[in-house]
Amino acid sequence: MGLLKIDRSKMVDERVKTTPQNVQEANEALFRAKMTLPAAARHCCMSHNEMKLTFWEFLKYNEPDYEVPES
């Protein structure tokens, strides 16, 4: 039996710098449900908790752009 060789360079995501553009893209993708929270956090190099807090701030200062039907 041979040992399986693991390429560790493929296991680690490349490091991304947190920029206002990355954070805006991640927040808009979360708002439109085009990205999951872990993916959005990875997109702008934040922890899950940091991304949650940032998204709550995004929701607080940005009005909804859709209409809620009245029941």
13-70 pLDDT tens trace: 677 789 999 999 999 999 999 999 999 999 999 999 999 999 999 999 998 888 888 8
In a domain, 42, yes or no: yes
Q: pTM (2 decimals)?
A: 0.73
Burial string for 44-66 (b: 16+ CB within 10 Å, else e) reads bbbeeeebeebbeebeeeeeeee
In a domain, 71, yes or no: no
In a domain, 8, yes or no: no
In a domain, 5, yes or no: no
Residue 52 lies in domain: 20-61
Residue 13's pLDDT is what? Answer: 67
In a domain, 57, yes or no: yes
Domain total of the chain: 1
Instruction: State the alpha helices, DSSP H only, in the chain.
Output: 20-31, 37-43, 48-61
Residue 1's pLDDT is what? Answer: 60
